[in-house]
A and B are shown apart, each in its own frame.
Chain A
Amino acid sequence: MSAPAREVVLGRIGEVSRRSDAVPKVTGEFAYSSDLHAAGMLWGHTVRSPQAHARIVGIDTSRALTMPGVHAVLTHDDVPGEKLYGLEFRDQPVLAIDRVRYFGEPVALVAAEHPEQARRAAEQVRVEYELLEPIVDPERATEQAPLHPDRPTMGRGYRDDERPNVVRSLVIRHGDPDARGDVSVSGVYDVGIQDQAFLGPESGLAVPDGEGGVDVYVATQWLHVDRDQGAPCLGVAPGQVRIRLAGVGGAFGGREDLSMQIHGSMLALHTNRPVKIVYSREESFVGHIHRHPARILSEHRATREGRLVCVRVRVLLDGGAYASSSTAVTSNAASFACGPYKVDNALVESLCVYTNNPPCGAMRGFGAVQSCFAHEAQMDKLAAALDIDPVELRLLNALESGDVMPTGQVIAGKLPVAEVIRRCAALTPPEPEELPRDPLRLPGGSGNTTRGEGVRRGVGFAVGFKNIGYSEGFDDYTAARVRLHRTADGELSAEVHCAAAEVGQGVANVILQTARTELETEDVVLAAATTSAVGSAGSASASRMTWMAAGAVQLACRDALAEHRRTGSDVDLERTYRHPRTTPLDPETGQVTGERAHVAYACAAMRVVAEVDVELGLTRVVWIGTVQDVGRAVNPSAVEGQIEGGTAQGLGLALMEEIQTRDGLITNASFTDYLIPTTLDMPPVASELVEDAEPDAPYGVKGVGEPPTVVSTAAVVSALRAATGRELARVPVRPDDIVGL
C-alpha cells in the first residue's frame, strides 16, 4: 500500500477499519440470507422453463396442489397487480404468461411445509410447451422475429433503431471518423458469458404483516428499487413492502435484478405464512443475469510516432431475453471503447440485441471489461506494428484531466492515467523461480503436467478506466438519516440509517468512518438497512456506493451537528445527497448534451507475469502488480481487498470463467463445470494507490470496486500473448487457443 496505514479497530476516514463481519464470515458464523428462519415458515420453489424459447400451451397445477405439504401453487394468473416488472424497463413477466424466452424463466411457484415437498410438487406442475425456434446468434437477431414486439426500450430518448430485437443502438461520432494515419491495426475480439458466481445463492424470507403488506428479508443490492418494482406487481402501496437487507454472500451486479422478492411475497400473501426461498446452485446460475458476451471489431489508426489518429469500433452485445440494465451497458461499452487515450477522431457503434440466450445485465465492470479487453489488445498490436514499447505507446496517448472524450465530455475531475502507467511500469516483478520446483508452482499446478517443459514466461501490461456512478441523466441520490443525542456523561452518541447494501465491499465501515469523522465521536452505530426507516441509497453498483454513502452521511452528520449545537437538543434528521448532474447523450451523434454524461472516471494500470505451458495450453499467473486511481482510500485494507478480489474476477474471465450454452440452454450450471480461480490460480497482488482527491466527491473519494476487474482480464491476456506470440482474441482463453488447435 502507498502509505503505511494505522490499525484502528473503529477508524475514521483514511484509517484501516476492521470489519465487523470479517470474523463471523471466516468462522462460518455469519448469518446469510439463506440462514433466515421464521416460526411456521413455508418453503417456496420456482418452476422454471426447461426451454429457451417456447409457447406455453397450458399449465396444469392440479396434481401439484394435491401433493403432501403443499399450500399453494401459483401462476401468472395469481399475480395480484402488474404482470410485468423490470429494473429499468417493464419487459419481464413476474411469471411467464404465454411464452418463455429463456432457459430457466420462472413459470410457476409452489409453497410447501418442507423444501423437499416444494421441489417434488414443482416437478408435478405440468407445463405444456410448443417449441419455438430460439434466437441464439446475436449477429442475426436483428433479422429475426421480434421477441418483444412492443419494443419496451424505445421512446426513451435512445436512437430509434427500427430493426427487430434491438435493445439499444448507440453511435458516437467524434471529429472526422474517416481520418487516416500512417499505420492501422485491426482485430475481432470475443468475450464469453461470465457469471457473478457469488457464493451465497439467491435467498430470502417474505413475512406477511397480516394487513396486506409484507416484510422481505433478502440479499440484494438496492433495497428501494426492489420495493418499487415489487409493490405494483403485488398490487399494494410501496410502503406496504418493506425490504430489509439480509446477509449478502457476494453480489457483483447479479443482485440488481429481482430474484425471489416478488415470488416469495406472492406466496406469503397468498398463504398468510412466512415463505422462504433459497435457490440451488444450478438454479442460481440460470436464475440471474450474467455479464454480456460481446463481439468487438476494432480498428486503430496512428501516426508513425504512435499518436492515435482515429479509432473505429463496433460492439455487439448479446442482452439475452430481457432488457435488465442492457441499455446502460451498451452505452458504457461505447464510452470506453477507445480506452483511456486521447482520440481526436472516432466512430463507435454499440448495439445490444435481445436473444433467447441467458439474460445479461450488470456485472462488475459493466461494459468496460469487454471494451478494455479489445482496446488493450489493439494497443499491444499497434505497439508491435510500430515497434514501440507498449508502455511508451500508452503513455504517449494517455488521457488526462481537461481532455475530451469521444462523447465530447471534457474530463473535469481527476484522471491520472499517465501516473498509474508510470508507477505500474516501475513495479518490479519477482525473478523467475529456479527449476526444479514443486509442480504447484508451475502451469498445470497440482496436475503435475510439467517440470518446466514447454514453459515460457510473458509479461503483459494493460490500462483500463471506467465511470464512477450512474450516468446519462439518471437522477441518482443517496439518503442518510442521523439520530443524535448526548449520553448521561455528556458524550455525543449517534445512530445512522442508510439503506446502502453491504454486499461484502465494506460500505458499513465507510458509513461509520464518515460519521465518526464528522461527529468526532466513536459512539456511532449503524442501524439495519431497511426501506422503512430511510430513503433510497441507490444501488451498491457502478463503484458508486462509497462516494454516495459518504456524501449522504457527511451531509446528514454536518446538519445534525449544526442543529444540535444550535438547539442543544436531540436531533433526528434525514438528508439526500446528489452528485453533479449528468445529462443524456444525443441520440444521433452520441455527444454530450450538457456538461457531462458520466459523473467521474477512475483508472488502473496492471502488469502481469505469467508462465504458459505452450504445448499443453496451461497457465500459471505468477505475479500481478497494479496501481489504481482511488481518489482517496477511505479504508485502505478494504481497498486492497477490492483490488485483489476484483483482479481475481477479471483473471477468471481471462482464463476459465464461461457460461456455456447450446441452443440457448446452459450446459455448465454448476461449480463442477463453471470454474472460478482457486488460490493456486491467483497470484499475490502488489498494489499501490494514487490518491489524488476527486474535486466533486466527499473527501475526494472515488469508487474502487470495478477498475481492477476492468483491467485484469486485458492484462492477463496481454501476458499470455507475450508468452505465446499468439493473438488470443477471445476470452476465456482456451488451452486449444494457446496450443493453436
Chain B
Amino acid sequence: MRPSILSRPPSTLRAVDVLSPRSLEAALLLKAERPDAVPIQGGTDVMVELNFDRGRPPTLLNLNEVEELRGWSRENGTVWLGAGLTYTEAMEPPLSELLPALAEASRTVGGPQIRNRGTIGGNLGTASPAGDAIPPLLVGDAQVKLVSLRGERVVPLHEFIVGPKRNAMSDDELIAGVHVKPVSGRETFMKIGPRNAMVISVVSLALRVDGDVHAAFGSAGPVPTLVRASTDDVHTLPERVADAASPIDDVRGTAEYRRHALRVLTKRALERCLA
C-alpha cells in the first residue's frame, strides 16, 4: 500500500447531488442521463472512499428506495439475490440453508452495523480481490444480471470481475442481482484474518461439493478465482488451488503464508464437505 497522506490530487470544493429514484426504471433513466453518477446502496464502500477523500463523485445515485433490488427469491431451481440483499439477510434461514457458504461468508463481514448495511450488489460493484461474497457466489456458479435502458444481459460472475476493483459493468448499467445455484451437496467458507473478527481477509476460500468440486479463493490474486476438480482428484486440489493463486506480500500478510494457508484451508474444506 502506498502511504497516502497529503499526496492526493488537488481538487476543489463542490457539492454532491444525491438522486433518489423510487423504482428501477427511474434509476435506469437517471443512470442513462448521468452516467457518471455513482450508485450507492449500503454505502459501506462508497462512504469510506468519500471520507478518505479518494474520490468525489459529482452525483450519487441512491438505490435504497428501489424496491426491486431488495430481497431474494427462488426462481426455476436457482436462487435470485437482489443487489440490495444485506449480509444480515443472507445469514438468516431459509436462505442460509440454500447458500450456507454465503451465510458463513456474511458472518465474517465487518461488524453487525456493516452487515446490516453492506450488500451483495455493493460487494460486486466494488469487485475487490478481498470481497467476501465473491468466492461463495463463484462456487454457486453465479450469473450477474446487469440492467440498463438498453435492456438486460447476464454475465457469469467470473467474467463480470475483470481485474482488481474492476468489473464489466457499463456506465449506464446497474446490477439488478445474481442467480445462484442452491447447494445440493455441501459447501463451506473460511476466511483468515489477523484477528478474530472485523478484518479484511488475508486469504479466503469457498468450497462446494456438488457432484463436482468447486473451490474459489479471495485475496490471493488480482481477482477471486475459481478452481474446479472432479471428486476423483480431490487429493491434488489443495496444491492446485495454491498454484492457481498469485498472491503478493502486503501489510496484511506474506505471499508465502497466503499460499500455505490456501493449502490448509482447501484440505480442511474438503474434509468438511466430503465427510
User: B164 at the A/B interface (Cβ < 8 Å)?
Assistant: no
Q: How far is the CB of B101 from chain A (nearest CB, A)?
A: 10
Residue in chain B with minimal CB distance to A618: B192
Q: How far is the CB of B15 from chain A (nearest CB, A)?
A: 11
User: B97 at the A/B interface (Cβ < 8 Å)?
Assistant: no
- Which B residues touch A741, using CB under 8 A? 254, 256-257, 260
Q: How far is the CA of A192 from the CA of B18 in the complex (A)?
A: 45
Q: State which residues 219-275 of B face A: CB under 8 Å.
A: 251-254, 256-257, 260-261, 264-265, 268, 271-272
User: B189 at the A/B interface (Cβ < 8 Å)?
Assistant: yes
- Which A residues touch B189, using CB under 8 A? 448
Q: How far is the CA of A104 from the CA of B4 in the complex (A)?
A: 11
User: B47 at the A/B interface (Cβ < 8 Å)?
Assistant: no
Q: How far is the CA of A453 from the CA of B253 in the complex (A)?
A: 22
- Which A residues touch B197, using CB under 8 A? 440, 445-446, 678-681
User: A669 at the A/B interface (Cβ < 8 Å)?
Assistant: yes
- Which B residues touch A673, using CB under 8 A? 1, 200, 251-252
Cβ-defined contact, B196 with A680, below 8 A: yes
Q: Mark B1-36, 1 if CB is under 8 A from A, else 0.
A: 111111110111100000000000000000000000
Known A445-B195, A446-B108, A449-B268; contact A666-B200, beta-carbon cutoff 8 A: no
Cβ-defined contact, A660 with B251, below 8 A: yes
- Which B residues touch A282, using CB under 8 A? 4-5, 52
- Which B residues touch A116, using CB under 8 A? 13
Q: Mark A283-298, 1 if CB is under 8 A from B, else 0.
A: 1001000000000000
Cβ-defined contact, A50 with B3, below 8 A: yes
User: A206 at the A/B interface (Cβ < 8 Å)?
Assistant: no
Q: Mark A106-124, 1 if CB is under 8 A from B, else 0.
A: 0000000010110110111
Q: How far is the CA of A454 from the CA of B260 in the complex (A)?
A: 14
Pick from A446, A453, A667: contact of B1, CB below 8 A.
A667
Q: How far is the CA of A666 from the CA of B4 in the complex (A)?
A: 9
In the complex, which range does the number of interface residues on chain A fall in?
A: 35 or more
- Which B residues touch A616, using CB under 8 A? 192, 261, 264-265
User: A88 at the A/B interface (Cβ < 8 Å)?
Assistant: no
Known A735-B253, A741-B256; contact A448-B104, beta-carbon cutoff 8 A: yes
Cβ-defined contact, A736 with B254, below 8 A: yes
- Which B residues touch A117, using CB under 8 A? 13
Cβ-defined contact, A446 with B196, below 8 A: yes
User: A148 at the A/B interface (Cβ < 8 Å)?
Assistant: no
| B contacts with A: majority SS | loop
Cβ-defined contact, A675 with B199, below 8 A: yes
Cβ-defined contact, B5 with A669, below 8 A: yes
Q: How far is the CB of A282 from chain B (nearest CB, A)?
A: 6
- Which B residues touch A453, using CB under 8 A? 268, 271
- Which B residues touch A734, using CB under 8 A? 257
Pick from B52, B53, B190, B202: contact of A448, CB below 8 A.
B190
Q: How far is the CA of A615 from the CA of B266 in the complex (A)?
A: 12
Residue in chain A with minimal CB distance to B259: A741
Q: How far is the CA of A120 from the CA of B5 in the complex (A)?
A: 13
Q: Mark A649-666, 1 if CB is under 8 A from B, else 0.
A: 000000110001000011
Q: How far is the CA of A283 from the CA of B6 in the complex (A)?
A: 10
Cβ-defined contact, B264 with A454, below 8 A: yes
User: B188 at the A/B interface (Cβ < 8 Å)?
Assistant: yes
- Which B residues touch A445, using CB under 8 A? 193, 195-197
User: A708 at the A/B interface (Cβ < 8 Å)?
Assistant: no
Q: How far is the CB of A731 from chain B (nearest CB, A)?
A: 13
Known A666-B3, A681-B197; contact A449-B257, beta-carbon cutoff 8 A: no
Cβ-defined contact, A446 with B107, below 8 A: yes
Q: How far is the CA of A617 from the CA of B264 in the complex (A)?
A: 11
- 20 A-B pairs with C-beta separation under 8 A: A103-B3, A103-B5, A114-B13, A120-B11, A444-B192, A446-B108, A449-B191, A449-B268, A451-B272, A453-B268, A616-B192, A616-B264, A618-B192, A656-B194, A656-B195, A668-B1, A669-B5, A675-B199, A735-B253, A736-B254
Interface residues of A (CB under 8 A from B): 47-48, 50, 68, 103-104, 114, 116-117, 119-120, 122-124, 282-283, 286, 440, 443-451, 453-454, 615-618, 620, 655-656, 660, 665-669, 672-673, 675, 677-681, 734-736, 739, 741
A-B contact sample (14 more), CB < 8 A, given A668-B251, A678-B196: A68-B13, A116-B13, A117-B13, A120-B11, A447-B196, A616-B265, A617-B257, A655-B195, A666-B3, A667-B3, A735-B192, A735-B194, A735-B202, A736-B253
